[in-house]
Amino acid sequence: PVLVVDFGAQYAQLIARRVREASVYSEIVPHTITAAEVAAKNPIGIVLSGGPSSVYEEGAPALDTGILELGVPTLGICYGFQVMATQLGGEVAHTGQREYGSTAVTARTDDNQLLRGQPTAQTVWMSHGDSVAIAPDGFEVLASTASTPVAAFANDEKRFYGVQWHPEVKHSQYGQDVIVNFLHKAAGIPADWNSGNVIAEQVEKIRAQVGSARVIAGLSGGVDSAVAAAIVHEAVGDQLVCVFVDHGLLRQDERRQVEVDYVAATGIRLVTIDAREQFLTALAGVSDPETKRKIIGREFIRSFEQAERDLIAEADADGEPIRFLVQGTLYPDVVESGGGSGTANIKSHHNVGGLPEDLQFELVEPLRALFKDEVRAIGRELGLPEEIVGRQPFPGPGLGIRIVGEVTEARLELLRHADAIVRAELSAAGLDGEIWQCPVVLLADVRSVGVQGDGRTYGHPIVLRPVSSEDAMTADWTRLPYDVLARISNRITNEVADVNRVVLDVTSKPPGTIEWE
Ligand code: XMP
């Protein structure tokens, strides 16, 4: 792999993605990693990330000096660039000259591998207080800005490179070119990592892990669990059985997409548990959001346990108990909860509906090394239906937490209808790529006065909550075109009974969460 050494900024994940976008597999490692540990991973390249510290600060994150002696091609970015400069005998100075945001650089682009083929004048994204004052011996200075004499350097012989700016962010005009040049031209790494390879590699791994044992997977209707199960099915066929709990809080058409389209595309063996009655009964009379969430979680576990008991009873007959459970854990979850060391805990909400801890399963996690967009690419490669692969994130508790007030069948029906209109109109307007997700919320406890035809109405509002986000930790409300909003509003008020008003949520996260409950 290419190792991305994380110096504690938010940028490491972005760098890892950009490297993968250049068709090279990358992994994030903490800066505390030792040279021996690096060597054991057999890296073909190293990228040192940016970080919030100054190399002078007490306790500033350092790098095992042995790492730069392994002979591995290395690119330092921002703080990583300064770490390289310091360790290799150059000089970093606290000049008092800060550079933040878009900055003009003048670059040498004709005689080095890193910037070759780029314009000499370009705009890059900077964020630093310290600067490299003197490049280490044997290094050529490749770029400078008005206040930074050494904004990039290279030692083509050692294949060591560094840039003060952030090539991984889109604001750096030729940023991806820097990364591509480093990987393919300077380090000579082939562009051969793609979704096809990942599938083949995972299939082999799963077969080795599972052998002839039986495997269970919960399907939530979402992308991750669908793709994870499909890879496992590719590996072990009918040793896999999938369980899909219909809790009645799904969106329009979702059950059919799983039961018919997904099963048709994969040939997976699926057991659907129809628990709609059970959930509605348990939710009757409850409006408090946390209570709703707890009830939904509890009933989900009950349904899943029942299915498991049935399947284990069935398994007893052929003597093969179910030993493995598939989970759609993604790379960002692994990194966030432990630095990708392979020992990370899985956050509870990534368990399908929060499976009980005392279930004694060994986990199969074929997506552990992947980002969401890569999971989608693999889903497409596996021939999964676009409705599932392209789907927005949808919370486990489903529409239950998008009805503010008590959950009833009539209200669910109404919300499903409004939600379907919103999804159809956003897709028709080609906006799916811009929107992370767009919860549609029914304010069931609120009524307002309206006029329709020539009569007074007293109906409920529907809230649109379109958000843009990279990871759902923070989000901004998406500026949807007015004509699209107008069409959605018209259609909902005309077509959905008992709704006479459509409102737009213009709150970022924070302070608002994405979901209303
Ligand atoms: P919030 O509302 O916390 O949502 O800003 C962040 C992201 O998480 C999703 N979400 C959930 N996903 N189970 C899930 O699997 C849950 O209980 C849950 N609650 C919120 C939400 O849709 C958004 O993408």
Tokens describing residue 367: 């997506």
Residue 347: what pLDDT?
31
The reported pTM is 0.81
Residue 8 has a CB neighbour count (10 Å cut-off) of 16
Residue with CA nearest ligand 1 atom 18 = 395
Ligand 1 mutation pick, 515, 516, 517, max ligand atoms within 8 A of CB: 515
Q: Which atom of ligand 1 is nearest to the CA of 473?
A: 6
Residues in the chain, total: 517
Helix axes 372-381 and 195-210, enclosed angle (nearest 10)? 90
Q: Could you identify the atom of ligand 1 that is nearest to the CA of residue 515?
A: 2
Tell me whether residue 78 is one of the annotated catalytic residues: yes
| For range 473-491, the mean pLDDT | 95
User: Residue 433's pLDDT is what?
Assistant: 87
- Residue 512 near ligand 1, beta carbon < 6 Å: no
Taking domain 408-504, whether its CATH number is 3.30.479.30 is answered by: no
Which parts are annotated binding residues for ATP?
A: 220-226
pLDDT of residue 355: 53
242 is catalytic: no
Give the annotated binding-site residues.
220-226
CA of 389 to the centre of ligand 1 (A): 18
> Measured from the CB, is residue 472 less than 6 Å from ligand 1?
yes
Enumerate residues 6+ apart whose C-beta is below 8 A from 282: 295, 298, 299
Distance CA 29, CA 6 (A): 6
Question: Ligand 1 mean position to 416 CA, how many Å?
Answer: 18
Tell me the pLDDT tens digit for each residue of 167-185.
998 889 999 999 999 999 9
Q: What tens digit of pLDDT does each residue of 470-480 get?
A: 778 789 999 99
Can you state the angle between helices 195-210 and 223-236, rounded to 10 degrees? 60
Atom of ligand 1 nearest to the CA of 475: 5
Element (H, E) at 267: none
Common-topology check for domains 2-186 and 195-389: yes
Give the residue among 334, 375, 373, 353 at the shortest CA–CA distance from 229.
375
DSSP per-residue codes, 127-150: EESSEEEEPPTTPEEEEE-SS-SB
Average pLDDT, the chain: 91
Give residue 221's pLDDT band: very low, low, confident or very high (50, 70, 90). confident
pLDDT at 276: 97
**pLDDT for residue 356:** 56
Active site residue 27: no
Nearest protein CA to atom 14 of ligand 1, as residue: 395
Q: Find out whether the beta carbon of 380 lies less than 6 Å from any atom of ligand 1.
A: no
Higher pLDDT, 119 or 337: 119
Domain boundaries, the chain: 2-186, 195-389, 408-504
At residue 337, the pLDDT reads: 54
pLDDT digits (tens, 9 = 90+) for 60-83: 888 999 999 999 999 999 999 999
**In whole angstroms, what is the distance from residue 69 CA to residue 49 CA?**
18
Q: Looking at residues 418-426, what average pLDDT do you find?
A: 98
User: Is ligand 1 within 6 A of the CB of residue 429?
Assistant: no
Whether the pLDDT of residue 53 is over 80: the answer is no
Residue 97 has pLDDT above 80, yes or no: no
pLDDT at 342 over 70: no
pLDDT value for 349: 42
CB 487 within 8 A of CB 417: no
Give which of 158, 170, 175, 227 is closest to 199, Cα–Cα: 227
ipTM at complex level:
0.98
| CATH ID of 195-389, from 3.10.20.30, 3.40.50.620, 3.20.20.140, 3.40.50.10310 | 3.40.50.620
Whether 26 is in the pocket of ligand 1, judged by its Cβ within 6 Å, is no
Q: What is the band of 405 on the pLDDT scale with cuts at 50, 70, 90?
A: very high
User: Token digits for 165?
Assistant: 């700016």
Q: Which of 100-114, 346-360, 476-490 has the highest mean pLDDT?
A: 476-490
Tell me which of 251, 349, 508 to substitute to probe ligand 1's pocket, judged by most ligand atoms within 8 Å of the beta carbon: 349
The strand pair at 362-364 and 322-326 is best described as: parallel
User: Hey, what amino acid is at 402?
Assistant: R
Quick check: CB of 513 below 6 Å from ligand 1? yes
Specify the pLDDT at position 357. 59
Say yes or no to pLDDT of 462 above 60.
yes
pLDDT top residue among 502 and 57? 502
- Report the b/e string of 402-437 with b at 16+ CB within 10 A: bbbeebeeebbebbbbbbbbbbebbeeeebeeebbb
Share of the chain above pLDDT 70, in %: 94
Per-residue pLDDT reduced to its tens digit, 282-323: 999 999 999 999 999 889 888 888 888 888 777 666 667 788
The pLDDT value recorded for residue 311 is 83
Contact 474, 510 (CB under 8 A): yes
Q: What is the pLDDT of residue 354?
A: 47
Tell me: pLDDT of 277 over 70: yes
Residue 513: Cβ within 10 Å count: 13
- The architecture CATH gives domain 2-186: 3-Layer(aba) Sandwich (3.40)
Identify the active-site residue in 31, 99, 128, 168. Answer: 168
Distance 366 CA to ligand 1 centre (A): 22
Segment 3-12 shows an average pLDDT of 86
Is the CB of 515 within 6 Å of ligand 1?
yes
Ligand 1, atom 19, residue with closest C-alpha: 395
